[in-house]
Amino acid sequence: MIPRSCFRIFCLVSLMGVLYCTCTPSVSGVETTNGFTVVAAAGSIEGTAPPYAQVFLFDTAYVPYLDQGTGLGTSVDSDGRFAFAVAPGVYNILVIEQDGSEAGILQKTVSSERSGNDTPVKSNLARTGTIRGAIAVTSGETILVYLAGTSYYRVLSGFSSFSFSSLPPGTGWLRFAVLTSRENVDTYSAEIVQDLPVEIRPDQVTETGTVVLD
């Protein structure tokens, strides 16, 4: 992913810079020992998480490696509080314990105006899981493999294997996109050629088998 740093998902990736805001809804006093709490208001998402956890936010159109869409990240300190200033839209909020052993993810919608329903939502953390599989590409193209709405990704070609660890349990979509270099520009475009539903289970490895891409 470009740029690189933040957290390890088989390869090191990073997110765009973190934006902090002062938000009206309060989540103070919420117990987060076994989870995290999120509240969405007009133009912002804030919450609480276990001390020193990693917190990431992605819009649902985010494409890692290409850095398309919105991707933000931060490490919370001892008070466990975090906040992001964001445009209206739908976002995935991913929280990972400091040691990567537990994680959780939930989705929130940010509107342009306060709705009156800006109440905190609690989500539990659970033991992380792993996705493992392979691709077979006969066309010679370069393939971007990523977990939709997150920054877990690999860039592969030919007959290659992949593995993503420290994943939050739940259902998701593993996406396979052909990378094409843009003429006279040092960037790429991505065309999704296959979506694969996956179920991530705590302390388990989800095997996708070999995905053949002609």
Please check whether the domain covering 7-126 is classified as CATH 2.60.40.10. Answer: yes
**Could you report the average pLDDT of every consecutive run of 10 residues in the chain (214 residues)?**
35 31 38 79 92 95 93 93 94 95 94 71 95 93 95 95 96 95 77 96 97 91
- The pLDDT assigned to 117 comes to 58
Residue boundaries of the structural domains of the chain: 7-126, 129-213
* Per-residue model confidence (pLDDT) at position 63: 95
pLDDT at residue 114 in the model: 64
pLDDT at 41: 83
Give the class (CATH, top level) of 129-213.
mainly beta
Alpha carbons 191 and 142: distance in angstroms, whole number: 11
CB 118 within 8 A of CB 40: yes
Rounded-to-integer distance, Cα 40 and Cα 35, Å: 17
In DSSP terms, which residues pair with 135 in a beta bridge?
160, 211
**φ, ψ for residue 136, nearest 5 deg:** -130, 110
Count of beta carbons in the 10 Å neighbourhood of residue 82: 27
Measured from the Cβ of residue 96, the count of other Cβ atoms closer than 10 Å reads: 27
Looking at residue 67, its pLDDT comes to 86
**Residue 133 · residue 117 · CB < 8 Å:** no
Is the fold of 7-126 the same as that of 129-213? yes
Three-state helix/strand/coil letters over 175-190: EEEEEEECCCCCCEEE
Q: What is the pLDDT of residue 185?
A: 62
